[in-house]
Amino acid sequence: MLFFNLSAFYFFYFAAVGVYVIFMPKVLHDIGYSTFDIGIIFALAPLMRFATPFLFLKHITLNQTVFKSALFLSILSSSLFYITIENFYAFMLNNAILGVCLSLILPYLEVTAIKSLGSDKYGKSRLFGSIGFMLISLVLASYLTQAKIALNYYLATNILTVIFALSLIKYDTKYIPNANDEKFSFLKYWPFWASLFFMQMSFGGFYNFFTIYETEHGISLEMTSYLWSFGVICEIIMLYFQAPLLKNNLLNIIKFCVAITVVRWVLLYLYPDSLSVTFFTQSIHAFSFGLYHSTVIIYLYSLYENKKLAQQFMYGVAYGLGGFLGAIIAGWVYGDNLFIYSAIFALISLIALFFVKKIN
Tell me how many degrees the CA angle 339-342-348 measures, rounded to the nearest 5.
Answer: 150
- The predicted pLDDT at position 359 comes to 46
The span from the first CA to the last CA of the chain, in angstroms, equals: 38
Please name the amino acid found at residue 338: L
- The predicted pLDDT at position 252 comes to 94
Low-confidence ranges of the chain (pLDDT < 70): 56-60, 144-145, 173-184, 357-360
Sequence ranges of the domains in the chain: 2-173+186-359
- The predicted pLDDT at position 360 comes to 44
Helix or strand run (H / E) with residue 156: helix 147-167
Q: How far is CA 71 from CA 5, 41, 77, 202, in A?
A: 16, 21, 10, 29
Q: What is the dihedral angle through the alpha carbons of 165, 170, 175, 176, rounded to the nearest 10 degrees?
A: 150
Give one DSSP letter per residue of 239-286, joined into a string: HHH-TTGGGS-HHHHHHHHHHHHHHHHHHHHH-TT-HHHHHHHHHTHI
d(CA 339, CA 209): 10
d(CA 66, CA 133): 27
Per-residue pLDDT of 291-312, as tens digits, reads: 998 899 888 887 777 777 777 7
CB 81 within 8 A of CB 151: yes
Q: What CATH class is the domain 2-173+186-359?
A: mainly alpha
- The predicted pLDDT at position 181 comes to 56
CB 342 within 8 A of CB 202: yes
CA–chain centroid gap for 32, Å, is: 26
Give this prediction's pTM.
0.77
